[in-house]
Every structure is written in C-alpha cells, then in structure tokens.
C-alpha cells in the first residue's frame, strides 16, 4: 500500500507564466535566484502549447540554477482563470506528460475531475508515477464559497489522497476568516487562500497555518492572480522565512492601507530584535460595523495570535468605541482626544486602547524647535486642518498652553474642534492674514501623488516662522521646500511618524525601538 507522509512545510511557489520557452527559462532562473521553494508551471500561458514543449520545460526546470525545486504543472481551464482556452484533451495530455516527466504535483480543476473518463485518465497516470501527487482545485473569482467545508469533504470523498486547493475572492478582509478556519480545522496537505486586496493577508498567514503552498509573483507585472504579492515583498517586507505556527501577529488597520509604511518599520524592528512577530497591512473597509466584525473575528480566534494593532484613517474613533463597548482599558488621554491609534489584546482577552499621536507630535515639535514642551506655552500656532491628526495635535498643544487658531476647509468642523479645546478658528481664506510663529499642516494637501500642491501659498511664509508638515510622503513637501526658501525653520512629518510608531513598538513589546533603523527603513521605501 502506498503511504503518504504529511509534511508540515509550506512551499513558497512562483508561477512560471510565460508565452514562449525562452521567457519561461528566464522566469525559472529568476524564480530560483529570488528564493522560490517550488515552481508552478502555468502551461496555459504558453502560446503554441504541445506536450513536447512541456517535457522540454520540465527538463529545463530540473536543471536550472543547480537546484531541483519541486514542480507543479497545471494547464488551467479558462473558466477557472486559465490564460489561453486550450481543449480538455490537450490539457489532460499536458498533465499526464508532466507526471511521466517527473513533476511532483499536477493541479487539476475538481469540476473537470468529476467527469468519469477524465478521472480515469488522471488516476491511471498517477498510478504509473512514483511520486506524482494530485492537487484538486476550485477557484471562485467572484466571492466566497457557499460552503467551503462541504466542498473540502466532497473532494476528499471523491479522491482521498488529493490535495484540496481553494482560492476565492475576498470582498472584505472579514471574508478571509473562513479560509483561516478551514486551515485551522484540517490537518494534512491543503492549499487555501483568498484573492484580491482584501485577501492579501491570507497569502502571508498561509504559512503560519501550514497551507501546503502559498504563491508569490516574480514582480508586480508577473502576478497571475489579484492580490498576489511579489516574492521580494513576502520575504523582505513580511518576514516570510521566519514565519511559523508560533508567530505573533500585529498590523495596521486602515483604508486605504497599501501605501502604509507601518509594516516596513515594525517588521524591520521585529527582525532587528529577533522577535517571532509579524506586522500585516489590514485593509478594513467600511465603518464601525465592519471594524467591530473584524475585531470580533480576531478575538474569537485566539489561535491566530493577534496581539496588537496600529489604527489609522478611518477607524480611530471606531477603535475607541470598540474599546468602550467591550469594557476595555482606555488611556485617559485617548479618551480626551476622542481617538485611538493603538489597540492591544491582553492575555486575558481584554482590549487596551492608547493614542501615541499626541506625544509623538509634541515631541517632534519641541525637538524641531529646540525647546522643551514647557517652551510651547503662549506660542501662537496656526493649525491647518481639523481631522484626526489635527485633533491629537490640538489636544497636545492646548495642554502645553499654546495659543491655537484652527483653519479648515469645512468651517463647522474647525468650529467644533476649537470649541472643544478653547481655540480660535477661521476659514482657509483667512490664511492670508496668518500671524503665527508655528504653522502646522494637518491636511492631506501635498501628500503623494499631489506633491505639487501646498496648503499655504509661498507669499504667506515668513522668515521668523517654523513650519511643521505632518505629511511624511514625501518627506520634503512643497510646503517645507518653500519654507526653507524663506529661511523658516522646518519640521518634517517623518519625526512624528517615527515617534508614534516607536511608542507603539514599546506598547507592543515593552522594548525601545531603534529610531535610526525606523528612519532608514522609511527612507528606503520613499
Ligand atoms: P482626516 O481626518 O481625513 O482629515 C483630513 C483634513 O484635511 C481635514 O481637515 C480636511 O478638511 C482636510 N483636507 C483634505 N483634503 C483637503 C483639500 N483638498 N483642501 C483643503 N483641506 C483638505 O485625516 P487625518 O487622519 O487628520 O490625516 C491628515 C494628514 O495627516 C494625512 O494626510 C497624513 O499625511 C498626515 N498624518 C501624519 C502622521 C504622522 O505621523 N506624521 C500620522 C497620520 C496622518 P475637511 O474637514 O474640510 O474635510
């Protein structure tokens, strides 16, 4: 009797999706050089596909780079995402040839495997192969499966030694939890992950939950499915090589999240400290309902090991409300500011909520001006913007005794914030009469990609002013460039960003982060 030994390994597979043999050989070499652990030969991408061509490419893959990586061969049905619509008979010829040529895995659509003659052909080819294994895959490019557990059981009933593979579109990050649950509930070899931006984390967490394979593209242009990360992102940004079942999870909850630099800096600091922790981009779309659902999903699955979160646009108030509704600990300052940017889940499942923006901004301003916080007393400050960041800065500066005037596009918002903290307010048009020693931009104006915009025309800038731009991408905004031209003092948004991230790192780990490493990491990414 043939015995299959279940491994606990997750292979990092790179799809070889080339139109011709030369391109395929190049991709094979690049994938091996980039650190792929498995190659997936997507023969449905090859123009003029023949079984001879498949044999030739399998031989090339075996010889490449002095390394023999496990090989999966597929010729995907175009109804399940295949690139070129090849007939079923040719696709079967390709898979049976692949087994004869020594491929370790063939990947075939479960739907087509249910056709009796097809199934017989595949089974005969498998019985003639010493090591070849069958992945039976089901793709849903639209949405979740109605009942993924039932589908999993039916695949194993039809062919008990198959490796079930489920890939579905996540419309929301909350859709990923069904994939995690199935991985958690089942042992042995199976491949389960989600597509789309909302599904990105499932491709990373797949390793922690011991999915047999996770896929990564050679580069962004080579991605074969929505949301596929590059092998470089997985390895360098998301610490792929160090992920295991014990890895603690952290992340930034935001929408949008793709631009966030938080994963880069926190993962760099975790790596530097030799900690088995991973920081993820958590795209939580929607409002309070979706945020609460995400947190409930996390809290009800202790085995995922989620421990801490940074929270940013648009969820800072939702995080505060969630902590309140769940009788969590809320740092008095966060309660006063009305926004939370850091959440922790303690060992007894209690939520703890903090705001590190306030102190981060005050320290960035004080050190930028070369004074202590006490030196901010009576300083005339103009704050442009009345959103979340403005709120934390207004709270901090008003505690420090500064004289604040808030300018905002939506005047009522400025008025409300000013009333709360006893400040003045004015419309943006009044900036022409600006008379402040410190000007702070708390709007998105000047942020990438709109780098040729500024919230304050150059003619209003004066030599004796100090200018702080909270925007950190780019580090030197047009506002700061023009402030330098009139010899005003400048403070960039990176200082505040690093301060708030360093304070979060301390809350996450109890240890100090290295601010130089944080700055260097960010500079590399900008
Ligand atoms: P937010 O709550 O959405 O507030 C955005 C503010 O910008 C509002 O006052 C809004 O005015 C104003 N605004 C946006 N577009 C504008 C436009 N075209 N013209 C005039 N005003 C405009 O966002 P936030 O959380 O406060 O973040 C604001 C900025 O802070 C971000 O872009 C980011 O660069 C920066 N930030 C920096 C750090 C750091 O650590 N350095 C951390 C977080 C954020 P209305 O009220 O009229 O909509």
Q: Are 360 and 500 in contact (CB under 8 A)?
A: yes
Q: Distance between CA atoms of 17 and 371, rounded to whole angstroms?
A: 58
Q: Are 375 and 366 in contact (CB under 8 A)?
A: yes
Q: Which residues line ligand 1 (CB under 6 A)?
A: 313, 385-390, 408-410, 413, 442-445, 447, 470-472, 493, 496-497, 500
Say what the pLDDT of residue 468 is: 98
Q: Distance between CA atoms of 56 and 72, rounded to whole angstroms?
A: 15
Say what the pLDDT of residue 64 is: 83
Say what the pLDDT of residue 1 is: 37
Say what the pLDDT of residue 321 is: 97
Q: Distance between CA atoms of 478 and 458, rounded to whole angstroms?
A: 9
Q: Distance between CA atoms of 276 and 368, rounded to whole angstroms?
A: 35
Which of 183, 172, 73, 59 shows the shortest CA–CA distance to 132? 73
Say what the pLDDT of residue 298 is: 98
Active site residue 316: yes
Say what the pLDDT of residue 224 is: 80
Q: What residue's CA is closest to ligand 1, atom 9?
A: 385
DSSP-derived secondary structure for 29-93:
HHHHHHT-SEEEEEGGG-TT--HHHHHHHHHHHHHGGG----EEEE---GGGT-SS---HHHHHH
Instruction: Work out which ligand 1 atom sits closest to the CA atom of 413.
Output: 46
Q: Distance between CA atoms of 423 and 415, rounded to whole angstroms?
A: 9
Q: Which residues pair with 192 in a beta bridge?
A: 166
Instruction: State the residue for tokens 């108030």.
Output: 317
∠ CA 472-228-29, rounded to 5°: 105
Which of 39, 41, 93 shows the shortest CA–CA distance to 69? 39
Say what the pLDDT of residue 5 is: 40
Per-residue pLDDT of the chain (526 residues; tens, 9 = 90+): 333 344 458 999 999 999 999 999 999 999 999 999 999 999 999 999 999 999 999 999 988 877 789 999 999 999 999 999 999 999 999 999 999 999 999 999 999 999 999 999 999 999 999 899 999 999 999 999 999 999 999 999 999 999 999 999 999 999 999 999 999 999 899 999 999 999 999 999 999 999 999 999 998 888 888 889 999 999 999 999 999 999 999 999 999 998 899 999 999 999 999 999 999 999 999 999 999 999 999 999 999 999 999 999 899 999 999 999 999 999 999 999 999 999 999 999 999 999 999 999 999 999 999 999 999 999 999 999 998 899 999 999 999 999 999 999 999 999 999 999 999 999 999 999 999 999 999 999 999 889 999 999 999 999 999 999 999 989 999 999 999 999 999 999 999 999 999 999 999 999 999 999 999 999 888 7
Pocket test for ligand 1, best of 396, 442, 453, 471 (most atoms within 8 A of CB): 442
Its pTM stands at 0.92
Instruction: State the residue for tokens 């700061």.
Output: 480
Helical H segments across 70-175, by residue range: 88-100, 110-113, 116-127, 148-158
Q: Are 215 and 228 in contact (CB under 8 A)?
A: yes
Say what the pLDDT of residue 8 is: 55
Say what the pLDDT of residue 4 is: 38
398: its two tokens: 């008003």
Q: Distance between CA atoms of 216 and 223, rounded to whole angstroms?
A: 8
Q: What residue's CA is closest to ligand 1, atom 28?
A: 443
Task: Report CA(445)–ligand 1 centroid distance (Å).
Answer: 7
Burial of 65 (0-12, 13-18, 19+ CB in 10 A): middle
């Amino acid at each position: 009797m043939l015995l299959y030994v279940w491994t606990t390994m997750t292979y990092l597979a790179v799809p070889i999706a080339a139109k011709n043999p030369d391109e395929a050989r190049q991709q094979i070499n690049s994938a091996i050089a980039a650190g792929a652990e498995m190659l997936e030969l997507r023969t449905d991408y090859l123009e003029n596909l023949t079984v001879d061509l498949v044999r030739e490419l399998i031989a090339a893959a075996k010889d490449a780079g002095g390394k023999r990586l496990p090989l999966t061969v597929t010729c995907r049905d175009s109804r399940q995402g295949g690139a070129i619509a090849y007939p079923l008979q040719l696709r079967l010829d390709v898979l049976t040839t692949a087994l004869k040529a020594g491929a370790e895995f063939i990947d075939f659509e479960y739907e087509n495997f249910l056709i009796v003659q097809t199934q017989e052909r595949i089974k005969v080819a498998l019985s003639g192969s010493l090591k070849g294994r069958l992945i039976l895959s089901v793709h849903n490019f639209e949405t979740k499966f109605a009942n993924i557990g039932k589908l999993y059981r039916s695949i194993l009933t039809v062919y008990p030694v198959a490796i079930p593979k489920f890939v579905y579109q996540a419309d929301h990050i909350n859709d990923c939890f069904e994939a995690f649950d199935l991985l958690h509930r089942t042992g042995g070899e199976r491949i389960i992950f989600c597509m789309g931006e909302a599904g990105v984390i499932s491709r990373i967490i797949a390793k922690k939950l011991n999915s047999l394979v996770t896929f990564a593209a050679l580069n962004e242009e080579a991605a074969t499915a929505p949301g596929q990360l590059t092998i470089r992102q997985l390895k360098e940004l998301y610490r792929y090589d160090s992920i295991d079942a014990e890895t603690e999870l952290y992340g930034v909850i935001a929408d949008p999240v793709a631009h966030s630099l938080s994963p880069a800096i926190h993962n760099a600091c975790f790596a530097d400290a030799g900690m088995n922790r991973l920081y993820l981009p958590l795209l939580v779309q929607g409002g309070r309902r979706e945020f609460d659902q995400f947190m409930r999903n996390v809290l009800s699955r202790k085995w995922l090991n989620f421990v801490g979160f940074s929270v940013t646009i648009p969820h800072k108030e939702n995080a505060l409300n969630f902590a309140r509704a769940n009788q969590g600990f809320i740092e008095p300052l966060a309660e006063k500011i009305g926004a939370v940017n850091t959440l922790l889940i303690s060992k007894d499942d209690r939520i703890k909520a903090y705001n590190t923006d306030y102190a981060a901004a005050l320290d960035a301003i004080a050190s930028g001006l070369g004074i202590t916080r006490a030196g901010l007393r009576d300083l005339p400050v103009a704050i442009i913007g009345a959103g979340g960041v403005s709120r934390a800065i207004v709270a901090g500066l008003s505690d420090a005794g500064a004289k604040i005037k808030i300018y905002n596009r939506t005047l009522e918002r400025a008025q409300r914030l000013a009333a709360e903290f006893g400040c003045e307010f004015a419309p943006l048009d009044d900036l022409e009469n600006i008379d402040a020693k410190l000007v702070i931009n708390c709007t998105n104006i000047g942020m990438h990609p709109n780098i040729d915009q500024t919230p304050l025309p150059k003619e209003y800038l004066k030599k004796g002013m100090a200018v702080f731009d909270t925007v950190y991408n780019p580090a030197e905004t047009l506002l700061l460039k023009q402030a330098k031209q009139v010899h005003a003092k400048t403070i960039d948004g990176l200082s505040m960003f690093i301060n708030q991230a360093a304070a979060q790192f301390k809350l996450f780990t109890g240890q100090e982060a290295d601010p130089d490493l944080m700055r260097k990491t960010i500079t590399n990414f900008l």
